[in-house]
Amino acid sequence: MKITVLAANGKVGSLIVKEAVDRGNDVTAIAREENKTVTKKFLKKDILDLTENDLKNFDVVITAFGAWTEETLPLHKTTVEHLANILANKNTRLLVVGGAGSLYTDESLKTQLFTTPNFPTDYYPIASNQAKGLDVLRNRKDVKWTYISPAGDFDFEAERKGDYLLAGEVFTVNSKGESKISYADYAIAMVDEAEKGNHINQRISVLWK
């Protein structure tokens, strides 16, 4: 399978690249700076400068874009819009590394976590902007997208267990009452979806069992 990972040099992106390469996929990394990933196939380019021609030969495009500054937060929406426009009416699937803040509090799917009073103030800017990216996808019927939210505690330093629990739109905890996953195990879930394509035009979420 031909996969490309955007923002591939980041913590999430580089682990997704490694997971996909380790499984024998044909992986191209795309980033603005020099290649820091395990794959030798690389394109140095900003996401917003990508064209249809750049992405035409891939089965799956994975964007691991993330931003924290006030100036760059709107790019969570802008980059998704750009990629959706490029991939419109194509067979290439678009997978997005999302956030947990846009998950819903219950099955009514009316209240998202980032809008609740107890949601951490520091995370509100990124959660609200990531939610705008998800909204873009929900309104696109011409793109084969999947948005994957991690658990509430998304830990780069945590171990790779090699397993995870698949959930949907509602914030979920495991049998221990925890919502946690490592970056490495999130990467497993992402590549599973890339290979299987079981959740086209859906948002899913993943956490440790």
pLDDT of amino acid 8 = 98
pLDDT of amino acid 102 = 98
Asked if residues 183 and 156 have their Cβ atoms less than 8 Å apart, the reply is yes
Number of CB atoms found within 10 A of residue 63's CB: 25
The residues of the chain scoring below 50 in pLDDT are: none
> DSSP code of 59?
S
Q: Is 128 helix (H, G, I), strand (E, B) or coil?
A: helix
Q: What is the pLDDT of residues 120-175, one digit of tens each?
A: 999 999 999 999 999 999 999 999 999 999 999 999 999 999 999 999 999 999 99
DSSP string, 8-47: TTSHHHHHHHHHHHHTT-EEEEEESSS--SS-SEEEE--G
Q: How far apart, in whole angstroms, are the C-alpha atoms of residue 143 and residue 138?
A: 10
- Side-chain half-sphere CA neighbours of 201 within 13 A: 9
**Predicted structure pTM score:** 0.97
- State which amino acid sits at residue 162: G
